[in-house]
Amino acid sequence: MEVVPESITPARPVPTPEQITELRRVAVHLAKTAAAHVRLRRNRFRGAAGALRADAVQSKSTPTDPVTVVDTETEELIRTLLADLRPGERVFGEEGGGTVGDGSEIVWVVDPIDGTVNFMYGIPAYSVSVAAMLDGRSLAGAVADVAGDQVYSAGLGAGAERIGADGTVTALRCTEVEQVSMALLATGFGYSAERRARQGRLIAEVLPRVRDIRRIGSAALDLCMVAAGLVDAHYEHGLNTWDWAAGALIAAEAGARLRLPAAGTVSKTGELVVAAAPGIADELMNLFDELGVSEPVP
């Protein structure tokens, strides 16, 4: 059964198409500019073996949950650009904090580097995610694949597309897969040992029922890969709003069906995020219900 979350159910009049187009334009500009900064700064802090130098990395919630000086710099850059481009609008960011607001104003939801561990090690799967939300609903969003030098974007009701490194624009659509047994799933894991152990047990139940599972390391990119037909579905417990605010909209505008927590829900509650190609959405959601995957993993 498809679950339409409150976070994408209109509760207020939808802004005009022109307003959504402008929000999308700004989101793309911010993501592209920030991605260029991330690429430049990674070279500055890269060690001899390719990984980041130790002096560029700190821990957050656990020793396995890192933040780099580039994460902090990049969010500060986005906040500065927004202050010029959209003065008076608030920012809810992974590093600088904030809230999704009371529903009366645009809030920009920012993840300066999604996939920080990949970024640290030089694995080419990390992204910048920027979304404009109103009343807990994403209106526009962009996710920049930093290493791939391409940007995914969407506007509510306006479709999703990918802009390649050469400027080529490609409309995005989910795959036409119709059986979960033939589906390639993407997923991710939390930072605490307890959550990982539970997620591992659930994967052991899911894996025999699907084609295969991939762990890319950036939820925002996973959601864009659903939109682009590079995987058939993504599921993960314990994402923060900034992890999915842009990517979920991009997936939905490419035809995916979603299961999302309410905007503002924090990682520690362990709620499930799903984006699935439409041909397998019902079967996959039912499978998750059957196996207990739909339950939170705090």
Task: Please give the chain's pLDDT, 298 residues, in tens.
Answer: 344 444 444 456 579 999 999 999 999 999 999 999 999 988 777 765 677 766 677 777 776 667 788 999 999 999 999 999 999 999 999 999 999 988 889 999 999 999 999 998 899 999 999 999 999 999 999 999 999 999 999 999 999 999 999 999 999 999 999 999 999 999 999 999 999 999 999 999 999 999 999 999 999 999 999 999 999 999 999 999 999 999 999 999 999 999 999 999 989 999 999 999 999 999 999 999 999 999 999 9
pLDDT at 177 (0 to 100): 98
pLDDT at 6 (0 to 100): 44
In angstroms and rounded to an integer, the radius of gyration of the C-alpha atoms of the chain is 18
pLDDT at 58 (0 to 100): 77
Give the DSSP H or E segment for 133.
Answer: strand 127-134
Tell me the C-alpha distance between 85 and 13, whole Å.
24
The torsion angles phi and psi of 241, rounded to 5 degrees, stand at -55, -40
Neighbours of 24 (CB within 10 A): 23
Strand pairing report for 184-187 and 160-163: unpaired
pTM (2 decimals)?
A: 0.92
Give helix 69-85 / helix 17-45 axis angle, nearest 10°. 150
The answer to whether 213 and 207 are in contact (CB under 8 A) is yes
pLDDT at 12 (0 to 100): 62
pLDDT at 7 (0 to 100): 46
Tell me the C-alpha distance between 282 and 278, whole Å.
8
Tell me the C-alpha distance between 179 and 184, whole Å.
10
The answer to whether 135 and 11 are in contact (CB under 8 A) is yes
